[in-house]
Amino acid sequence: NAGVTQTPKFQVLKTGQSMTLQCAQDMNHEYMSWYRQDPGMGLRLIHYSVGAGITDQGEVPNGYNVSRSTTEDFPLRLLSAAPSQTSVYFCASSYAGGGPPYEQYFGPGTRLTVT
């Protein structure tokens, strides 16, 4: 198993440019999510999904779009990048549903700089 993979590892954008951060998992997990990590602020949830065709907003969704057309993939789109979106982005996945919380598996991250 490759686990959770993210591409690219690094990206530099100019203000106003668009791009898509890719995330894929091969563990057949229903739940997938995107977090951003900023100094002194920990990780904050951007968007999440509990299955194909189902997405919802997290704590900091503005400026980001997501879709979930397959179980495996959960891309994050920046439509018009802003310097405030400079951050490290992590994708995570886990099983969903009732019962005890399942372990979340994190990808290696994408470091994005917007100039």
Partner 1 sequence: GNSVTQMEGPVTLSEEAFLTINCTYTATGYPSLFWYVQYPGEGLQLLLKATKADDKGSNKGFEATYRKETTSFHLEKGSVQVSDSAVYFCALSDRVAGANNLFFGTGTRLTVIP
User: Dihedral, CA atoms, 43, 85, 59, 32, nearest 10 degrees?
Assistant: -70
Point out which residues pair with 44 in neighbouring strands.
36
Shortest Å distance, C-beta 41 to partner 1: 6
The alpha carbon dihedral of 51, 55, 57, 60 has a sign of: positive
Cβ within 8 Å of residue 3, ≥6 positions away:
25, 26, 27, 105, 107
Nearer to partner 1, 26 or 56 (CB): 56
Binding-residue total with partner 1 (CB under 8 A): 32
Nearest to 3 by CA among 104, 78, 89: 104
The yes or no reply on residue 101 touching partner 1 (CB under 8 A) is: yes
Among 17, 22, 44, 86, binds partner 1 (CB under 8 A): 44
Among 19, 27, 52, 96, binds partner 1 (CB under 8 A): 96
The yes or no reply on residue 103 touching partner 1 (CB under 8 A) is: yes
The yes or no reply on residue 87 touching partner 1 (CB under 8 A) is: no
The yes or no reply on residue 45 touching partner 1 (CB under 8 A) is: yes
Residue that is written with structure tokens 């690094």 in the block: 10
Shortest Å distance, C-beta 56 to partner 1: 7
The yes or no reply on residue 61 touching partner 1 (CB under 8 A) is: no
